[in-house]
A = this chain, B = another copy of it.
Amino acid sequence: MTVTHDVGSFADDRATPDGLLQTADRALQVLLHFDGLRTEWGVTEVAEEFGFNKSIAQRLLATLAHRGFLIADPDTRRYRIGPSAMTLGHAWERSGSLRAIVDPILRELSARTDATAILALPDNLHMRAVAAVDGSSGPLRVYPLVGELYPAHAGATSKAFYAYLPAQQRQLLFAGRPIARFTDRTVTDASALEAEFLRIRQQGYASTVGEYDSHVAVVAVLVSVRGEPYGSLSLGGPEESFVNPEQHVPLLRHAAQQIERRLTGRPRTRKD
């Protein structure tokens, strides 16, 4: 398997493309950084992180707060995520877009490989299965998977994603925290983990056996959106029957690209 993945292409594109509105784009960019890794930002911090002038950072944050996307702590004057985020979250759930987009792709994937296909997105310091289709045959039926959380360090589903996070952020994740063991195959050594992440980036996929659930083999690839790591797509099955998982990597890659394209959902232009 050759290295088709563009290792290290994940500089989070901060430049605003032509034809788009810079100020709006910057606001949205800042907003997206109120995630699990960083929940609070001050004016100066935002200015430094994004290279804005302080006054710009302050006005961006104030504008986001004005529409309820952030709230400013009256005491510390630091900003946290605001109630409009909930509004959007509900709107997204209601829309059912994710299932509509992803389910058919998962279904095909599962049908062609006879394995369980899962799309997982990062959630706090874990990966959360947001859509899944059971492998159709075999004795082992997988229980309700949607909503399930996986630890960041065990299993291909998580590794395929976290391998592509900037090393700095990964350190924030794993530093200090003890690394939990789930099976005798769980990797609990920090430097061994880091070496694995490197290998995953090099080969473009992650493959594990029984790291989280015993006797379950999983192969997974990164799903990126607009050049940034977004989630992971995986195929899993019982160790005995799900033979040579790596053979499905091309299929997984193709499906991941499909998802990426449909999640991006930019209108077709002449250049496409």
**Interface on A for B, CB 8 Å cutoff?**
16-17, 19-29, 31-32, 34-36, 39, 59-60, 62-74, 77, 80-95, 97-98, 121, 123-124, 128, 130, 225-226, 230, 262-268
Contact A71-B35, Cβ < 8 Å, known A28-B64, A85-B88, A91-B85: no
Q: If A85-B88, A88-B85 touch, does A72 touch B266 (CB 8 Å cutoff)?
A: yes
Task: Give A84 to B98 CA distance when docked, in angstroms.
Answer: 11
Q: Which residues of B contact A19 (CB under 8 A)?
A: 59, 62
Report whether B92 and A86 are in contact in the complex, using a CB–CB cutoff of 8 Å.
yes
Cβ–Cβ < 8 Å partners of A90 in chain B = 36, 89, 123-124, 128
Q: From residue A89, how far is it (CB to closest CB) to chain B in Å?
A: 2
Question: Pick the contact of A20 from B20, B62, B91, B226 — CB < 8 Å?
Answer: B62
- The smallest C-beta distance from A109 to any residue of chain B, in angstroms, reads 19
* Inter-chain contacts of A130 with B (CB < 8 A): 86
From B24, B32, B267, A74 is in contact (CB under 8 Å) with: B267
Chain B residues contacting A26 (CB-CB under 8 Å) are: 24
A35, A87, A264 — most chain B CB neighbours (10 Å) = A87
| Contacts A/B (CB < 8 Å), 26 sampled | A16-B66, A19-B62, A20-B59, A24-B24, A27-B28, A28-B69, A31-B88, A32-B88, A34-B88, A34-B91, A35-B87, A36-B94, A39-B94, A68-B225, A71-B264, A72-B266, A80-B97, A81-B97, A82-B92, A82-B265, A83-B92, A85-B92, A86-B121, A88-B88, A89-B92, A90-B124
Would you call B32 and A67 a contact (CB within 8 A)?
A: yes
4 tightest Cβ-Cβ pairs between the two chains A and B: A89-B89, A71-B265, A24-B27, A85-B88
Chain B residues with Cβ under 8 A from A27's Cβ? 21, 24, 27-28
